[in-house]
Amino acid sequence: MRFGCAFVVVAFVLCSCGNPNTKKSKEVSDVALVQASAAKTSPNINFPIYDFDGMASLLSKKNDSTYIVNFWATWCKPCIEELPNFERTFAEQKDNKVALILVSLDMPSMWEKRLVPFVEKNDLQGEVVILDDPKMNEWIPKVNQNWGGGIPATLIYNKSGRSFFEQSMTYEQLNEELDKFIN
Partner 1 sequence: MKTLKIFGFMAAIFLMAAFTYNSLEADGYAIGDYATDFSLKNIDGEMVSLSDFETAKGFLVIFTCNTCPYAVAYEDRIIALNEKYKSKGVPVIAINPNNPAVKSGDSFEAMKERAKEKGFTFPYLFDDGQKVYPQYGATRTPHVFLLEKTEKGNQVRYIGAIDDNYQDASQVEDKYVENAVDAMLAGKEIEITTTRAIGCSIKV
Considering only residues 20, 36, 75, 177, which one is a binding residue for partner 1 as defined by CB under 8 A?
75
C-alpha to C-alpha distance for 42 and 140, rounded to whole angstroms? 25
Closer to partner 1 by Cβ: residue 42 or 63? 42
Q: Which position among 27, 41, 135, 183 is part of the footprint of partner 1 (CB under 8 A)?
A: 135
Q: Is 137 in the site for partner 1 (CB under 8 A)?
A: yes
> Could you give the CA distance from residue 19 to residue 128 in angstroms, rounded to a whole number?
28
Establish if 6 lies at the interface with partner 1 (CB under 8 A).
yes
Peptide bond into 152 cis (omega under 30): yes
Q: Does 7 bind partner 1 (CB under 8 A)?
A: yes
**Which positions ≥6 away from 123 have C-beta within 8 Å?**
none
Compute the distance between CA of residue 34 and CA of residue 61 in angstroms, rounded to an integer: 9
Considering only 19, 30, 77, 120, the residue that binds partner 1 (CB under 8 A) is 77
Q: In Å, how far are 50, 54, 86 from 38, measured between CA atoms?
A: 7, 5, 26
Does 149 participate in binding partner 1 (rule CB under 8 A)? yes
Instruction: Decide whether 139 or 171 has the Cβ nearer to partner 1.
Output: 139
Cα–Cα distance for residue pair 127/118, rounded to 1 Å = 14
Residues that bind partner 1 (CB under 8 A): 1-3, 6-7, 10, 71, 75-78, 105, 107-108, 110, 134-138, 140-141, 146-152, 165-167
